[in-house]
Amino acid sequence: MIGSTTLYGLCATGLVAIGLYGLVLHPSPLRKVIAFNLLGSGTFILFGVAAQRGAAAGLLADPVPQAMVITGIVVAFAATAVAVALLLRLVESGGSTLEPSAPDPQDDRPS
């Protein structure tokens, strides 16, 4: 039977893997922001699992990892808000779209 700590660790590893996959392979800026958030969430859960394993091993519970995770969540939320605001401003200015555009077939014609 899988323990809860192991299950949380596996889920966190899956989130990190999905986040890295999306960050590397998706060209859309909005998908990169979402992938970065998944990567961060997986990291926060892994940090919590590491702190839980230390407490389960008989060590005193350390409040520092909890404080770091809470601070990281707040910083990640603020960074996401700024990234989405910048993406919206970029789309409004007409500089880019949220989805990558297909190449223009007229550009391939010889002049």
59 three-class SS: coil
Are 43 and 3 in contact by the 8 Å Cβ rule? The answer is: no
Q: How many domains does the chain have?
A: 1
Residue 103 lies in a domain: no
pLDDT digits (tens), the chain, 111 positions: 788 888 988 999 999 999 999 999 988 888 999 999 999 999 999 888 887 766 666 666 677 888 888 999 999 999 999 999 999 898 888 766 556 566 666 666 565
Residue 104 lies in a domain: no
Residue 21 lies in a domain: yes
Give the whole-angstrom CA distance, residue 111 versus residue 100: 26
Give the whole-angstrom CA distance, residue 15 versus residue 101: 28
Give the whole-angstrom CA distance, residue 13 versus residue 19: 10
Residue 105 lies in a domain: no
Greatest CA separation for the chain: 75
Give the whole-angstrom CA distance, residue 24 versus residue 41: 17
pTM for this predicted structure: 0.73
The CATH number given to whatever domain includes residue 61 is 1.10.287.3510
- Domain encompassing residue 61: 4-97
